[in-house]
């Protein structure tokens, strides 16, 4: 008789705490973020750049480098250096995000806002301080970042970034952990292809292929800006030197 | 000794035969197209022998790595794009399920014209994806100058796009399987939760029912004794208009 009374109570006492457990909010997990060293202040990347302008195109370069006439068109070769300033306060992002100065032939041309977080390289925009009023900036900053690289992405993975009044950015992983030799150095890289697509016509405006080496960054990049069906301005960057900041 | 020698020779012959058989064994990859002339359709002999060798080498690699037969077609002023396309289409058996690509290159004095055709593409979630990717590759190859540069760009670009296209269906399957597993797990968790809630309601009810049942049974089982009555006469009248009943104590 006693057993009949106690069994349901025991069952209830066993079940009720488990129910309470499922209903309770999950405990917050504190994730300790590792310091991202890729874009640490003082890190610098020097690239050899080759810019090919098709023959019939009227192009005035912003840099003082003489071009060479080739069957493909006018070819300009110059050096581009990118230097990280480390995290800087970016008003529109309401956060401190690494800013990279881009020098072409030792002249500061623009500043890029990049971030490397959770094994992803994020692009937040490009700007330049106004020469007349240094407090004013010209360029664009996006709060929702454009993901340039994702360590965990596999071959065949794709992602895109879209916003109003701008073309759609489509990314896909073409290869993983492949060897590439650049200026005599061999890197293990992931190759990513980016297409900038016109949303109304679905035409590719710009296509870019870049090779990303872990711990170094972009070691090679080839950008084709299409100006007609069979003509493109081709810009190739190849990493000449990567210097880590001295601690 | 003679027997030993003959056994040794037999073993050697068997070993040699098996090795030869291994070499001659048909490979898993279908190579019939490499042997056929239509893998390179060049009626005007635009290509140099070196270029033909290079294309054949790349075709073999693409077939091995991505299981896709990439054919090349070349035409000039004496042939049309459509002729090459027709020849290529006719060369693929109707029952063939393999992924085929034709890179059709129009070689003219001042420029080159590229178009890419395909047959039996891999099935993807986005039905236009193959078309978009190959259109992008076309644009990429088209922007090169000179036949050598075009061929070089086509090898790299097509290899990249095929790497993506051949892996994408597997990735989509994995993603869909993962979603299915997650959905099933969520449904299972939901059902378990419902069962728990139901049990929490049903168990006390059952308990109450059992308690009520036990109490009611115990009450019913208690014997009830009706009083023993005895009629007595009143004023000598046994069955009068009224009677007084008295219990005997």
What pLDDT does B23 receive?
Answer: 46
Token pair belonging to B169: 């269906």
- Global pTM value: 0.72
The β-bridge relationship of strands B112-119 and A217-228 is: unpaired
Residues 6+ apart with CB under 8 A from A199: A162, A167, A168
| Fold observed for domain A32-243 | YmcC-like fold (2.40.360)
Q: Where in chain A are the domains?
A: 32-243
For tokens 């070819």, name the residue. Answer: A75
Q: A22-26, A49-53, A183-187, B238-242 — which is least confidently predicted?
A: A22-26
What burial letters (b/e) apply to A17-27, b meaning 16+ CB within 10 Å? eeeeeeeeeee
- Please answer yes or no on whether B203 and A1 come within 8 Å at the CB atom: no
Q: A21 CB near a chain B CB, below 8 Å?
A: no
Out of A5, A15, A174, whose CB is closest to B199?
A: A15
- Please answer yes or no on whether B164 and A173 come within 8 Å at the CB atom: yes
What domains appear along chain B, each with residue ranges and CATH number?
Answer: 27-175 (3.10.310)
Interface of B to A at Cβ within 8 Å reads 111-113, 132, 135-136, 139-140, 142-143, 145-146, 149, 160-161, 163-164, 167-168, 170-171, 193, 196-197, 199-200, 203-204, 206-207, 210-211, 214
Token pair belonging to A18: 């488990």
The β-bridge relationship of strands B99-107 and B229-231 is: unpaired
Is residue A22 predicted with pLDDT exceeding 60?
no
3-class DSSP state of A175:
strand
What pLDDT does B243 receive?
Answer: 55
Distance CA A169, CA B165 (A): 19
- Please answer yes or no on whether B160 and A193 come within 8 Å at the CB atom: yes
Distance CA B113, CA A14 (A): 76
**Residues of chain B with C-beta less than 8 angstroms from the C-beta of A230:** 111-113, 142-143
Helix axis angle, A2-23 relative to B147-221, nearest 10°?
A: 150
Backbone angles phi and psi of A81, in degrees to 5: -115, 135
Better-scored residue on pLDDT, B8 or B148 = B148
What pLDDT does B171 receive?
Answer: 87
The β-bridge relationship of strands B40-41 and A231-243 is: unpaired
**Residues of chain A with C-beta less than 8 angstroms from the C-beta of B206:** 8
- Please answer yes or no on whether B170 and A156 come within 8 Å at the CB atom: yes
For tokens 């995290």, name the residue. Answer: A87
């Amino acid at each position: 008789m006693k057993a009949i009374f106690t069994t349901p109570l025991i069952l209830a006492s066993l079940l009720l705490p488990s129910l309470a457990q499922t209903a309770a909010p999950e405990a917050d997990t504190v994730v300790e973020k590792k310091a991202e060293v890729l874009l640490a202040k003082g890190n610098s990347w020097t690239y050899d750049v080759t810019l090919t302008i098709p023959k019939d195109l009227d192009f005035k370069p912003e840099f003082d480098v003489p071009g060479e006439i080739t069957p493909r068109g006018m070819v300009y070769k110059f050096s581009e250096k990118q230097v990280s300033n480390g995290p800087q306060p970016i008003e529109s992002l309401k956060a401190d995000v690494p800013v990279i100065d881009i020098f072409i032939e030792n002249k500061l041309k623009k500043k890029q806002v990049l971030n490397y977080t959770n094994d992803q390289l994020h692009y937040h925009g490009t700007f330049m301080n106004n020469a007349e009023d240094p407090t004013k900036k010209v360029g664009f900053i996006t709060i929702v970042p454009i993901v340039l690289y994702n360590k965990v992405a596999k071959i065949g993975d794709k992602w895109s970034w879209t916003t109003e009044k701008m073309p759609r950015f489509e990314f896909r992983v073409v290869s993983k952990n492949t060897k590439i030799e650049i200026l005599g150095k061999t890197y293990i890289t992931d190759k990513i292809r980016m297409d900038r697509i016109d949303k109304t016509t679905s035409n590719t405006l710009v296509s870019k292929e870049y090779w990303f080496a872990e711990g170094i960054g972009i070691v090679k990049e080839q950008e084709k800006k299409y100006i007609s069906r069979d003509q493109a301005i081709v810009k190739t960057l190849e990493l000449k030197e990567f210097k880590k900041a001295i601690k | 000794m003679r027997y030993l020698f003959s056994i040794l020779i037999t073993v050697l012959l068997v070993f040699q035969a098996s090795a030869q058989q291994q070499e001659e064994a048909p490979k898993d990859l279908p190579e019939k197209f490499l042997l056929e002339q239509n893998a390179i359709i060049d009626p005007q002999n635009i290509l140099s022998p070196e270029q033909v060798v290079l294309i054949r080498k790349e075709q073999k690699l693409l077939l091995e790595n991505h299981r896709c037969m990439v054919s090349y077609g070349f035409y000039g002023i004496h042939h049309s794009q459509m002729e090459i396309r027709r020849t290529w289409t006719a060369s693929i058996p109707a029952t063939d399920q393999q992924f085929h690509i034709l890179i059709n290159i129009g070689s003219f004095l001042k420029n080159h014209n590229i178009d890419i055709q395909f047959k039996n593409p891999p099935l993807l979630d986005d039905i236009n994806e193959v078309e978009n990717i190959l259109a992008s590759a076309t644009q990429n190859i088209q922007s090169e100058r000179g036949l050598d540069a075009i061929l070089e760009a086509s090898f790299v670009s097509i290899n990249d796009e095929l790497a993506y296209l051949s892996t994408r269906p597997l990735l989509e399957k994995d993603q869909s399987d993962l979603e299915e597993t997650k959905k099933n797990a969520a449904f299972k968790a939901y059902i378990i939760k419902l069962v728990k809630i139901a049990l929490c309601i049903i168990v006390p009810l059952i308990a109450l029912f059992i308690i009520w049942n036990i109490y009611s049974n115990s009450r019913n089982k208690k014997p009830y004794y009706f009083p023993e009555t005895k009629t007595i006469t009143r004023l000598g009248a046994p069955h009068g208009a009224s009677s007084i009943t008295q219990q005997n104590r």
